[in-house]
Structure 1
Amino acid sequence: MYDVNDTLFISVPAEEDQENPWLRGAWRPQGKEYAVSGDELTIIGSIPEELDGIYVRNTHNNATTPTGIYHPFDGDGMLHAIRFRDGTCEYRNAFVRTTGFLAEQGAKKALWPGILQPQEYQRRGWGSMGSMKDNAGTDVIAHAGHLIATMSQGSEPWCLSPDTLETLGPNKNWAKLVPDGLSSHYKVDNATGEMTFFNYPQKAPFMNYGVVNKADNLVHYVPIELPGPRWPHDLGMTEHYSILHDLPYFFDEELLKKGIHKGSFHDDIPARFGVIPRYGTSADVRWFEAKPCWVMHLSNCFEDGDWVVQDGCIWDNLVKPPVGVEEDAHAIYARIRRNVDMHPTGAHLYRWMFNMVTGEVREFPLDDEVSEFPVISNDVVGRPYRYSYNALFEKGEWHLNGLKRYDLHTGEAVRLEFGPGRWGSEPAIARPAGSSAEDDGYCIVFITDLIQDRSECVIYRADDLTGDPVCTVILPERISVGTHSCWVEGDRIAGEGRAAR
């Protein structure tokens, strides 16, 4: 089967006519949707017979010409999915058909400003600022038989079929119960099938926290009182707790009252991490103070006796988008480039430890090399674990140029570099049924090769990143670099209830 849908309205100028650096090169968007079986794909090597599941990655892939300054995280959500089963594969990609996307398709033009110019909005928007299109282009995860795609500020919980990528609409069971939406980095506990999530509206109490059970019912949703509006990005989860972030980056509250978003990092205010029982309330949160920082992505969290441990990538030097500024496009492009370059942030793997009995906090680096987008096996989310697979970055760019696997038991690490002009995405760890060790499986990643003008799905052994790829699947078109990904085990495609290994 080789189906192509090219009936959508696409008005982004061709790459050769494009001035915006975030709409050309590695960021060039696609306008076509494909459904391709393995018989129509070039496959180098052999797909492992025991590999059963779906690798899905989200992508900011704009369909219409932007109304103003375009930031690379403004683009419409597009999912790329490759299904593996019995030594075969199928590839699909599709736009997430949010309300905003469909409205712009109907109008045949952009209707909302991007993240840098929220003050330019002309109609109601979504997200914590309430002025952007709900692009659902940041995160993707599987829960209760469907994929859920969102943007980082908070989307409606957009559900898609894991088999066809058809947009099914906001979650029918509980979307109406969470009017402030679903922020990126919701977590699924494979042992219970529960999903924890949060959002952060710019109105009191400034955060909400919830739990959806394995039957896809909202069973817990409570306000979390913060000192003011914040811009957190991730949420921790352990067997019994969740970890909420109150970080010293936030907008000036007086200017916010005038609709002006001026964000600042306050290096004299401690970071606060709130440990809450999975079914706790704001009154149950234990707040722990740590050195001022910002945290974009966590590797994992777990319990160790009296300690709750949080591993993630700490940013020593916060670099955020120039929201609301008035500058010419080329000056803004330079600032965006610095914003998306991970090296000025100093992001590196770090550990925080919170003692639930004494209140003690311990924190220390696990590595000093710049890395981000850490991923682990789904089977150890919220539990003690050994391996974190982090993305490495090209200096001066956002491009992911390799991976680094950390062995947190021995302190050893191994590196994988994709090669010149080859830019990857967040990988996923796929453990087949019957696998024994945490790294007994595969590391899967989409790579866009600008030199060969193609994109690939590349499969490595998770326990041997330095070896040759097990298999490479050539995709039908070069795809834009993207954001987050997930692995959906074959026995989780239809719903939760998988036995934890």
Structure 2
Amino acid sequence: MDGDVRINPYLSGNFAPVRSEDDFDLVVKGEIPKELKGTLYRTGPNPQFEPRGEYHWFTGDGMIHAFHVEDGKVSYRNRYVRTPKWELENSEGRALFGGFGNPMTTDPIAQGKESGVANTNILFHAGRLLALEEAHAPFEMAERTLDSKGYATEYNGKVTAHPKIDPKTGEMVWFGYGVGDMPLSAGMSYGVTDASGKVVRRDDFQAPFSSMVHDFLVTENYALFPILPLTGSLERAMKGLPAYAWEPDKGSHVGVMRRDGEVASIRWFNAPPSYVFHPMNAWEEGGKIIADVFRYDTAPLFPNADGSPGQHSAARMVRWTFDLDGNSDAIKEEAIDDLDGEFPRFDERYAGSAHRHGWYAADPSNAKTIKQTAIAHLDLVTGKRQVYALTGGDMTSEPVFTPRSADAAEGDGWITAVVWRAAEDRSDLLVFEALDIAKGPIAVAELPRRVPFGFHGNWVAG
């Protein structure tokens, strides 16, 4: 091979796409509890054609992977999310869109066309299965067949991939960034979908600057918007420089707003530069808001504003405290855990309230990569941590918690996770007792091929 040819790591190994759409009955080793019945949906980037220009992992076409569990058996189905982008490129037989909708690398055929990929999250709300990404409306999928049904147009614009479902009201609380007529703008939206699926609120506001606002936080009474220095710039992109880049001089800002308040009332708190892809949970204690988040010193996977490579960085769990009654707008930060990790999850019946148990994908080697080789459970009351370490180069996806029953105690249930078996280049679905991660899986459902590394998943009870 020519020594000048560089292989994109996000198009090789288990990042590489799987372009077949399949249906398998899986071989199960061990015993899946009869009470565990439903479907684990997962999504991730899976470009159907060789990408144009420099490929970023976040920009591949969405593919849904569904693991249906019933009576101790597991079946698997995967399908592309047939967005307008996917349909247009499929009809042409080649990639047409630049990454993040970059007009500099988009074919003239596709200029100004819908570029959504629906590749980041998939969840069930108000009777609808919704595939989500950062810059477009939710895209509805059929629950069992995974047929593509189209965009949910009532959202009237962009919606993030990380809404929060209030377990008390059934509301889905969400936001959008890069909102407005110009790409990569500082415009944002705050929105609410009621328990019946009706969009009852959407208000726009301006952030301190254009930022990749990957996720946000919601408590019983407040919404928090992290504006961190992974910045967006159309001017920069038009010069051939990165559309999104790390600019630490801009610092970190978090807007705090009452859920029943106006966007004009947002109070901005600040902290030194850092980045957070994913919080675990946030809640209120007296006149304070407490938020547990996985914080990076620098934004991984993204370059500096001049196009030079960014620094390698890993996330660890920290606790942010916002003193709403105090005079200071500084965010207090304290370390919670000393293990590198990502993709935190918890018992979401406690969303917006104080919780005790959390799970996450981890890297015990602390090698500052995004390759997670273990699953961890942390008891936030005792501080005790359990870790199930994979071997042989195997790597895990985000662990997803499912309660044993609607009224089970917090943390009483199961963790499901999709694991890539490096030596065999295929994947397994692992099932754990949630509070006994260290003993290993109680059941393994074996796939005949691999599931590429992706982002998020959710369990839908059957």
Structure 1 and Structure 2 fold alike (TM over 0.5): yes
Aligned mate of 2:36, from 39, 47, 51: 51
Q: Superposition RMSD on alpha carbons, in Å?
A: 2.8
Letter in 1 for 2:117: N
Distance in 2 (CA, whole Å) between partners of 1:52 and 1:224 is 42
Contact 2:293/2:319 (8 A) holds in 1: yes
Q: Which runs of 5+ in 2 are unaligned?
A: none
Percent of aligned pairs with the same amino acid: 30
Contact 2:247/2:304 (8 A) holds in 1: no
Question: Equivalent residues in 2 for 1:20-419 (5 A)?
Answer: 20-36=8-24, 40-115=25-100, 119-123=104-108, 133-152=115-134, 154-172=135-153, 174-175=154-155, 177-178=156-157, 181-201=158-178, 203=180, 206-251=187-232, 255=236, 261=242, 263-322=244-303, 335=309, 344-360=312-328, 361-393=331-363, 395=367, 397-419=369-391
Distance in 1 (CA, whole Å) between partners of 2:222 and 2:205 is 15
Distance in 1 (CA, whole Å) between partners of 2:217 and 2:209 is 21
Contact 2:375/2:389 (8 A) holds in 1: yes
Letter in 1 for 2:409: A
Letter in 2 for 1:446: V
Question: Cα deviations across residues 6-63 of structure 1 (Å, max 9, x unaligned)?
Answer: xxxxxxxxxxx99443223212321222233xxx321101111111222111121121
Distance in 2 (CA, whole Å) between partners of 1:124 and 1:384 is 51
Query: Cα offset for 1:374?
Result: 0.7
Distance in 2 (CA, whole Å) between partners of 1:28 and 1:378 is 31
Question: Cα deviations across residues 400-444 of structure 1 (Å, max 9, x unaligned)?
Answer: 211121111111211111211211111100112155321111110
Distance 1:96 1:302, change over 3 A: same
Contact 2:191/2:203 (8 A) holds in 1: yes
Letter in 2 for 1:453: D
Query: Cα offset for 1:68?
Result: 2.2
Question: Cα deviations across residues 422-467 of structure 1 (Å, max 9, x unaligned)?
Answer: 1111110011215532111111000111212321100011000011
Letter in 1 for 2:10: W
Q: State the TM-score, normalizing by the size of structure 1.
A: 0.83
Query: Cα offset for 1:121?
Result: 2.0
Distance in 2 (CA, whole Å) between partners of 1:83 and 1:264 is 39
Contact 2:275/2:296 (8 A) holds in 1: yes
Higher relative contact order structure (alpha carbons within 8 Å, sequence separation ≥ 6):
1
Distance in 2 (CA, whole Å) between partners of 1:367 and 1:382 is 21
Q: State the TM-score, normalizing by the size of structure 2.
A: 0.89
Distance 1:285 1:375, change over 3 A: same
Distance 1:303 1:116, change over 3 A: same
Distance in 2 (CA, whole Å) between partners of 1:434 and 1:229 is 40
Match of 1:7 in 2: none
Query: Cα offset for 1:228?
Result: 2.9
Higher mean Cα deviation, 277-286 or 58-67? Answer: 277-286
Question: Equivalent residues in 2 for 1:458-497 (5 A)?
Answer: 458-490=430-462
Distance in 2 (CA, whole Å) between partners of 1:387 and 1:239 is 19
Contact 1:121/1:131 (8 A) holds in 2: no
Distance in 1 (CA, whole Å) between partners of 2:405 and 2:315 is 34
Letter in 2 for 1:238: T
User: The residue matched to 2:264 in structure 1 has which SS?
Assistant: helix
Query: Cα offset for 1:373?
Result: 1.1
User: The residue matched to 2:439 in structure 1 has which SS?
Assistant: coil
User: The residue matched to 2:373 in structure 1 has which SS?
Assistant: strand
Distance in 2 (CA, whole Å) between partners of 1:235 and 1:45 is 38
Q: Which runs of 5+ in 1 are unaligned?
A: 1-16, 327-331, 491-501
Distance in 2 (CA, whole Å) between partners of 1:208 and 1:189 is 18
Distance 1:117 1:210, change over 3 A: closer
Q: How many matched pairs? A: 450
Query: Cα offset for 1:397?
Result: 4.5
Letter in 2 for 1:300: N
